Amino acid sequence: MKTQTVVEKTKAKKQDMEGGAKDFLKTLGIESVNSGACGNDWIKNPSGGELISYSPSDGSAIATVKMASADDYENIMKDAVSAFETWRMVPAPKRGEVVRQIGEKLREYKKPLGKLVSYEMGKIAAEGEGEVQEMIDMADFAVGLSRQLYGLSMHSERPMHRMYEQWHPLGAVGVITAFNFPVAVWAWNAMLAAVCGDVVVWKPSSKMPLTAVAVQNIISRVLEKNNCQGIMTLVIGSGKVVGDRMVNDPRIPLISATGSTDLGKRIGQAVGRRLGRTILELGGNNAVLVMNDANLDLALRAVLFGAVGTAGQRCTSTRRVILQKGIAEEFTKRLTGAYRQITIGDPLDAKILMGPLVDKGAVEDMQKALKEISNQGGEIICGGSVLGGEKYKSGCYVEPAIVKAKADMKIVAEETFAPILYLITVKDLDEAIRVQNGVPQGLSSAMFTTNLINAETFLSPRGSDCGIANINIGTSGAEIGGAFGGEKETGGGREAGSDAWKAYMRRQTNTINWSKELPLAQGIKFEV
C-alpha cells in the first residue's frame, strides 16, 4: 500500500491546490488530490462525481475530490467488516498502542494540518491548531482508556456461581461529521472506537473534503505500519449516495452524527427503524447568565470568545446572554465596545480574531435571521453587516451582531449558525433560569456569579437543563475527559470523556457455575 501521496502522482487540474493550500498539502505529503474514498487502500478513481473545495478566506478553489459511488461505498464497507473480524481480537492495550502512534503522527503534522483546517473552514489559525491539538489529546486519553475497559463483578445468589459483566467490541461505527469541527469530532469517535475494538467508517461534511483526505492520508501511514488497514476508513460522498446508505446499513450498529436537529431527527428515525444505536450531537442555543454579583471582566471575555469564536459556528457558541437588571446596562456598553474592536479578516493572519463564515449560504442565512429579528421587534445594536471590497472578496465575511431581544421572541428559540448574540434582561435568579431553559435545545450553559447560592442553584436539578453547565467560564471550549453532549433537541448523546466509551461496546453478563448442581435463580424448583 502506498500512502506517501493520496493517489498516484498525476498532474493536478487547474483548480487543484491553488494558492496557500499547495504548500499545506506538500507539507502533509500530498501532491495530488482526486480520491475521496479509502478502505484498505485508496480507490484510484471513485465514480461518484466531483466535489470542489472552496476556501471561504479568499473564495478560491482549493482542490477537486472525486466522491464515492454506491459501489465504492460497498467496497469500503467490505474492507471495514473484514478488518473488524481481526481487530476485535487484538488485545485492547495493543489497540491503544496503534492509537498512541496516531497521536504522535498528528503531533508531527499539527501546524500544517491546523493551517489547512483554517484555510478550508475559515476559523482562525489558533483555533485550527487547537482543533488538531484536540485530536492529539483525544488519542492520549484513549491510550490510557485502553487499559481501563472495566466490567463489574457481582455476587450470585446461587452457591458456587460467579457472575460478572464484560464489554465487547460493537462492530463498524459510522461517523458523520459537520463542517465546523472537521477533524476533532472525528477523533472523539475514532480514537475511542479504535481502543474499544471497533472499526470506523467516516463520512465528513461535503464542505470540508480536503481536510478529511489529509487526515486519512496521515493516519494511513500508521495503519499500514501496524498492518491494520481498514480499521479507519474514509468515504466522501453526497448524503443521498453515501449518507443514506450508512444510516440504513445493518452492518453499522452505531451511527455517531453531528449536525442540525433536523438532520439528527432524520438519522435517529432511520437508525431506530433497524434498532441500531445513535450518538447525536445536534443543535445548541447556549446561554450565559450574568448575575449582579458577577466578575464582569471574566464574563465579558467569556461571552466575547463564546459568541465570536469560529465566527459563531460552534455548537457551543454563546447565542444568548441573560443579564440581571442591575448590571445589564453596564455590561451591554462594555460588550458593544469590545465588539467594535474585533479584527475580521484572513484567518491565517495572527492579528485576526474572526474569520469568515463557511460559505455564502451561511451569510444569507444570517441576513435572513437579522431581518426576521427586526420583524419580531428585536433591536440590532451592533454589527450585522456583510463586508465587501478586495479584502473580503470571498463574500463570506460579516460583522458579528448584538441584538437586544425578549425571551419570548420566536427566533430566539431557534439556532442561527452565525455570530448573532441576543441580550435578554431579567429581574432575578428564578427568571434567569426559566429563560435559560426556555428553548428546545440543551447543550451548554454558563453562569457568572460570586454567590454560592446562585452557583449551586444553577447546578442543581432545578437549575440548568443542559448537558454542560459551567460556573465562571463560558459555554464554549469543552475539555477532553468530560463527556460532551446535551439534552432535549441536542440529541442526548455523549462523546469524548468519562464513560462515553460504553456507547462503542456491547455489554455481556456472564455466569459461571463451578458446582456439581444446577440451582435455578429465584429459588425456582423444576424437577423431572
Q: What percent of the chain has pLDDT over 70?
A: 94
**What 8-state DSSP symbol labels residue 344?**
B
Please tell me the least confidently modeled range out of 21-25, 73-77, 162-166, 218-222: 21-25
pLDDT at 40 over 70: yes
Q: How many CB atoms lie within 10 A of CB 52?
A: 14
Sheet holding 401-404, edge to edge: 379-382, 401-404, 420-426, 318-324, 286-290, 444-448, 468-471
User: pLDDT-based confidence at 6, cuts 50/70/90?
Assistant: very low
Residue 292 to residues 190, 295, 304, 324, 474, Cα–Cα distance (Å): 43, 9, 19, 6, 17
Task: Copy the grid coordinates of residue 367.
Answer: 441576513
Q: What is the mean pLDDT of residues 312-318?
A: 98
496 with 484: CB under 8 angstroms?
yes
Task: Copy the grid coordinates of residue 350.
Answer: 495572527
80 with 199: CB under 8 angstroms?
yes
84 with 198: CB under 8 angstroms?
yes
First to last CA, the chain: 63
pLDDT digits (tens, 9 = 90+) for 470-496: 999 999 988 999 999 999 999 999 999
| Model pLDDT, residue 324 | 98
Share the mean pLDDT of the chain.
Answer: 93
Q: How many helices (H) and strands (E) does the chain have?
A: 14, 22
474 with 305: CB under 8 angstroms?
yes
Q: What is the mean pLDDT of residues 514-518?
A: 96
The residues that are catalytic are: 281, 315
Query: Based on the number of CB atoms within 10 Å of its own CB, is 19 exposed (0-12), middle (13-18) or buried (19 or more)?
Result: middle
Report the DSSP beta bridge partners of residue 448: 290
Q: What is the mean pLDDT of residues 289-312?
A: 98
User: pLDDT-based confidence at 4, cuts 50/70/90?
Assistant: very low
pTM, entire model: 0.93
Please tell me the least confidently modeled range out of 14-23, 42-51, 196-205, 266-275: 14-23
Report the DSSP beta bridge partners of residue 50: 66
Q: What is the mean pLDDT of residues 404-416?
A: 98
Q: What is the mean pLDDT of residues 135-157?
A: 97
Alpha helices in 309-428 (DSSP H): 325-339, 360-375
pLDDT digits (tens, 9 = 90+) for 167-188: 999 999 999 999 999 999 999 9
* DSSP H or E stretch at residue 446: strand 444-448
Q: What is the mean pLDDT of residues 295-309?
A: 98
Tell me which residue of 420, 307, 404 sits closest to 369, measured CA to CA. Answer: 420
pLDDT at 39 over 90: no
Q: What is the mean pLDDT of residues 9-28?
A: 49
373 with 414: CB under 8 angstroms?
no
pLDDT at 10 over 70: no
For residues 314 and 181, what is the distance between their CA atoms, to the nearest angstrom?
8
pLDDT at 1 over 50: no
| Model pLDDT, residue 23 | 65
